[in-house]
Amino acid sequence: MKAILFASAFGLFFSLVGTPVLIRILARHGYGQMIRDDGPQAHHSKRGTPTMGGIAFILATLVGYALTHLIMGTKPTISGMLVLFLFAGMGLVGFLDDYIKIVKQRSLGLRAKAKMAGQLIVGIVFAVGALRFPDPAGTTPASTKLSFVTDFGWSLGPVLFALWALFMILAMSNGVNLTDGLDGLATGASVMVFGAYVFIGIWEYGQTCATAATAGAQCYQVRDPLDLAVVAAALMGACFGFLWWNTSPAKIFMGDTGSLALGGALAGLAICSHTEMLLAILGGLFVLITLSVIIQVSSFRMTGKRVFKMAPLQHHFELKGWSEVLIVVRFWIIQGLCVAVGLGLFYAGWVTS
């Protein structure tokens, strides 16, 4: 368990001290946030705030994970490396999007097809890799079965699994991206979900089918659960450090660099820990905000009327007169409740099985 403490501490430290360095670099080069003219008027004061802050917690996470294994004298696992590949790969797609917004002064960034292509390439590589590299017991990082708190049902087969994994990756990365509209909102919500996956990884490790104590009994057929907890701890610590600078009034924004990376990491942890459908509850705030956009667009196309004053949902409350800090805190409370319910269901699934 020392590895988890080291990973979270390293992630926190390098993000906390690295983010202000990044702020100075970005400000020196004029890499500031573009603000859409059709957004809330209060956001225009944020124009020029350094963006692409996701670089800070991506590097902090990778360095924290690597240093942890170096100090502990252990080798990185394939499950941990796959999640970090998805995390960094989605971050690279987001970085290209942010860079085009800033350098070419085009507020929409990458063309939709190019952005989707990048996400698909990273997602497919992850999905293919997740079904390979079996351990001595034949367990691969991912299973072709659907999962909630553990695997259930029939095998989807590799093709349908890849499509399912891509759906999860795209849904979560874009869900976090939509949530990243107010200072600290997406960062704080992500911290809570990563914290949940630290617990899930530890619990699965204690009840893994790979140990003699539980072999043949009730257990989790998950490869490398403890290292998944280490990855989640590094991510949690790095996001905590970034939140110090990203909370209101934000000194830096994560940009698509950070939001796509965080969404990819969440999807990767869910797939490799075999808790895919549980992620919809653990990350309930991201789901809620994504649904608000779907409802808004669908309603306008079908009836010509809008359900909300503005979508995503956080901007609806801004236009109703709520302060930014009030919205963020209340949405964090909602996210905390989602995590509590999700962990409760995870534990209940073990007790009742």
Residue 145 has φ and ψ, to the nearest 5°, of -90, 155
Cis before residue 249, ω within 30 degrees of 0?
yes
Query: Which residues are CB-neighbours of 18 under 8 A, at least 6 positions away?
Result: 56, 59, 60, 241
Phi first, then psi, for residue 121 (nearest 5°) are: -60, -50
151 among the known binding-site residues?
Answer: no
Sign of CA dihedral 301, 302, 307, 312: negative
CA distance 254 to 185: 11
CB-based contact 252:49 (threshold 8 Å): yes
Contact 87, 272 (CB under 8 A): no
Q: Determine whether the annotation assigns residue 174 to a binding site.
A: no
Measured in whole angstroms, how far is the alpha carbon of residue 251 from the centre of its chain?
21
- What is the helix (H) or strand (E) element at residue 145, kind and residue range? strand 145-147
Cα distance between residue 318 and residue 182, in whole Å: 10
Cα–chain-centroid distance for residue 342? 16
Which residue ranges make up the annotated binding site? 177, 256
Which residue ranges make up the annotated binding site for Mg(2+)? 177, 256
